[in-house]
Structure formats: structure tokens, C-alpha cells
Amino acid sequence: MKYFFSNWKNYLSVEESLKMAENIAGLSKDNVRQVLFPSHLSVLSVKDMLSKSEIGLGCKGFFEEKKGPYTGQVVLSDLVEYGCRYALVGHSEVRKYNQDNDETVSKKLSLAFDMGVVPVLCVGESYSVREGGDAVDFVVSQTEKALKNINSGRVFVAYEPVWAIQPTSFDVGKDDIEDIVVEMYKFLSGKKDLEFDILYGGSVNSNNVDMIMSVEYINGVLVGSASTKYSEYASILEGVSKYL
Ligand code: PGA
């Protein structure tokens, strides 16, 4: 099975999310699992729109505590009630804007497992880390810290180099990805009871999806900006489906 996960971030309004979900609800490929991660306030309407579709639903973020006096936060149990079965954890934008760190990321992963939600752990280095030649160690260590309490169960790990996420002026190439993904795979394989798939995210679009899917050990993509446009969405799905 291959995976096409789309992170709509806050690109689309509730109405636009609904329209987009309506347009893509009929798209399906036997060998590709599609999951949408819309804005929090779009989750419920998108869920209704997907009721007859095979496309899954996830949330793009949640608070690390279960319930309580946390004004301004969104707790996972509410998102689960609204139909989310997957959750992004540790996305670089949450690390940047919401002060997520290795500790909160690890806590969120455990919470997701407790609630039966499949986590999509996002890891990736900044441009300065890459320039310094430490990208492999940084990404493996970030993965290790996040999964320190997780040894079994189902998880997706998305390698998302921060410098390659839109808007960016850098183009990503196969050479930028390969070595890191091999090391991630080795580390994850060491957790014998963990069921995992590695995804790639960062400026994926219809032109580069083929190059990305051809990288060994990559079983899918996590797409932001390009996945919010119907024609790009449909072409990326087509691209992912060519890989069996
Ligand atoms: P992008 O975002 O495809 O817009 O670069 C990917 C992500 O942040 O998940």
C-alpha cells in the first residue's frame, strides 16, 4: 500500500475545504490510502463530505494534555469525536509557532496511541543543520527522542526537511533525501514490534512526485500547498498510484 496524506494547514477556509473535499471525494486508487488533514474548524464538514468516500480523516495538530483548563488549545478527544483517526505530530510549523519540542512531541505520540489514533510523526532538519553536515544525525536523533516510549503499534514517520517546505526557494533532489531515509529506516526497523511507513514531505507536487516515490523506503508523501488545488491533487494521486 502507498500513502498520499494531504496537510491543508490553514490554506483553505471552511467553505473552500468543503468544496475541495467534495471534488476529491470520488477519487480513489486501490493501492493508495488517502488521508486529509484539514483545518480544525473544517474537520466536521469535511467528515460529512467524505462519508461515502474511502478517504480518511486526520487532524493537523492537538494539545499535549487530555482535557482541562487549557484555554486556546484543541484537545485530541474532541477531534476524535469529530472523526479524526490520524494526527500529525511534531510538524515543524507546530514546533516553530506552538513551542512543540522533543518532550511534547513524545507526549503527544503516547496520547495518540492511548486514544487509538494513528500518529504521523514529522521530523526534519533546518537549512543551517544541513549546511553544517549534521542532517542525518539530527533527523535520526529527533525520531529517536520522539519515539522513546513507543516500541509497538502503527506509526507513520514523515521526513520533512524544514528548508524544503513551501514557501521555499530550494529545490529538493533525490540526493538530499536518500541517505537520511536509509538511516531512518534502519533505526525504525530496530523497533521490532513497530509497524511503520516512511513518507516524504516538503514541496511535493505533480512534477517531482515520481522522483520522490522512487526513493527506496519511501512509501508515500505528505503534501501541503499543492494538495489544496484539485488538479495537482489528482495528478499527485495518479503519480503515487504508479508505485506498487
Ligand atoms: P508543502 O508542505 O508541501 O507545502 O511544502 C508540506 C508539509 O509541511 O507537510
Instruction: Please list the pLDDT of the chain residue by residue as tens digits (244 residues).
Output: 999 999 999 999 999 999 999 999 999 999 999 999 999 999 999 999 999 999 999 999 999 999 999 999 999 999 999 999 999 999 999 999 998 999 999 999 999 999 999 999 999 999 999 999 999 999 999 999 999 999 999 999 999 999 999 998 898 999 999 999 999 999 999 999 999 999 999 999 999 999 999 999 999 999 999 999 999 999 999 999 999 8
Pocket test for ligand 1, best of 10, 204, 209 (most atoms within 8 A of CB): 204
The alpha carbon of 69 and the centre of ligand 1 are apart by a number of angstroms equal to: 32
Calculate the alpha carbon distances from 228 to 5, 29, 121, 187 in Å: 12, 19, 21, 33
Q: Can 40 be counted among the known catalytic residues?
A: no
DSSP state of 207: T
The answer, yes or no, to whether any atom of ligand 1 lies below 6 A from the CB of 221, is no
Predicted local distance difference test score (pLDDT) of residue 127? 95
For the record, the C-alpha cell of 162 comes out as: 524544514
> According to the model, what pLDDT value does residue 120 have?
98
Q: Which pLDDT does position 215 carry in this prediction? A: 98
Can 54 be counted among the known catalytic residues? no
Q: What contacts 112, CB < 8 A, 6 or more positions away?
A: 76, 87, 89, 118, 119
What letter does residue 239 receive in the DSSP assignment? H
CA 192 – ligand 1 centroid, Å: 30
CA nearest neighbour of 90 among 209, 222, 226: 222
pTM: 0.97
Q: Output the residue whose Cα is nearest ligand 1's atom 1.
A: 224
Contact 129, 135 (CB under 8 A): yes
Residue nearest ligand 1's atom 3 by CA: 224
Classify residue 68 by its DSSP letter.
S
Strands, E assignment, the chain: 2-7, 32-37, 56-59, 86-89, 118-123, 152-159, 193-201, 218-223
Residue 47 CB neighbours (<10 A): 16
